[in-house]
Amino acid sequence: MIKNELEYQTTQDWVKRFTEAITKADQDQAKKTSDPQGWQMTRDVLQVHLEGLLEEVAEYETLNSLEPQGAITLKASWLTELPQILIKARIAANLSQEELAAIIGITEEEIRSSEKNNYALTPFTTILDIAAALGVELESATFAVDFAEVNRWRQRLPIIGNRSRTA
């Protein structure tokens, strides 16, 4: 995911490099003839990477071109997707990392670091401040608690006293 203008420019450079590499591979008649499978594998790998980069560029450009009026809907299936939601909301609101930092009273470097690490080390209260500043709200949420999953995790623990509900 492209998170800022610098990453966007870097990704554009990589798009150009991969496009040139594909063009060069397509023109390599000797390799096509002597090792058609190797040539095809190389070309396919280049193409897959290029397509991934182009998808990222398109997503960033779409978010960046939105008029920050009204509201947009960003969908997530897991809580682990919240970092991407926050980053997408910032981009769609046309806020720089510096502006967001100023709004919530932290440094630009803290925002950069938080986004770089997908908010893994960011205090929850800061995440809530960011969500509030960006107008990110849950419209509806249903959380399923899978007790079988809880029990699988519990089995990984060493025995800790009595685990009955009456304990």
The three-state DSSP-derived secondary structure of the chain is CCCCHHHHHHHHHHHHHHHHHHHHHHHCHHHHHHCHHHHHHHHHHHHHHHHHHHHHHHHHHHHHHCCCCCCCCCCCCCHHHHHHHHHHHHHHCCCCHHHHHHHHCCCHHHHHHHHHCCCCCCCHHHHHHHHHHCCCCCCCCCCCCCHHHHHHHHHHCCCCCCCCCCC
The answer to whether residue 164 is domain-embedded is: no
Q: Are residues 21 and 100 in the same domain?
A: no
Mean pLDDT by 10 residues, the chain (167 residues): 96 98 96 95 97 97 85 86 96 95 97 96 96 91 88 84 54
The count of domains in the chain is 2
Sequence-distant (6+) residues with CB within 8 A of 74 are 85, 88, 89, 136
- Cβ neighbours, 10 Å, residue 6: 10
Q: Are residues 43 and 96 in the same domain?
A: no
pLDDT on residue 138: 85
| Domain extent for 112 | 70-158
Q: Are residues 76 and 25 in the same domain?
A: no
Q: 65, 87, 104 — which closes off a domain?
A: 65
Q: Are residues 58 and 109 in the same domain?
A: no
Query: Which amino acid, 133?
Result: A
Which residue reads 């440094």 in tokens? Answer: 107
Q: Are residues 59 and 130 in the same domain?
A: no
The answer to whether residue 53 is domain-embedded is: yes
The answer to whether residue 94 is domain-embedded is: yes
- Cβ neighbours, 10 Å, residue 135: 11
pLDDT on residue 162: 57
Longest C-alpha distance within the chain, in Å?
A: 75
Q: Are residues 32 and 103 in the same domain?
A: no
pLDDT on residue 165: 55
CATH number, domain containing residue 98: 1.10.260.40
pLDDT on residue 144: 86
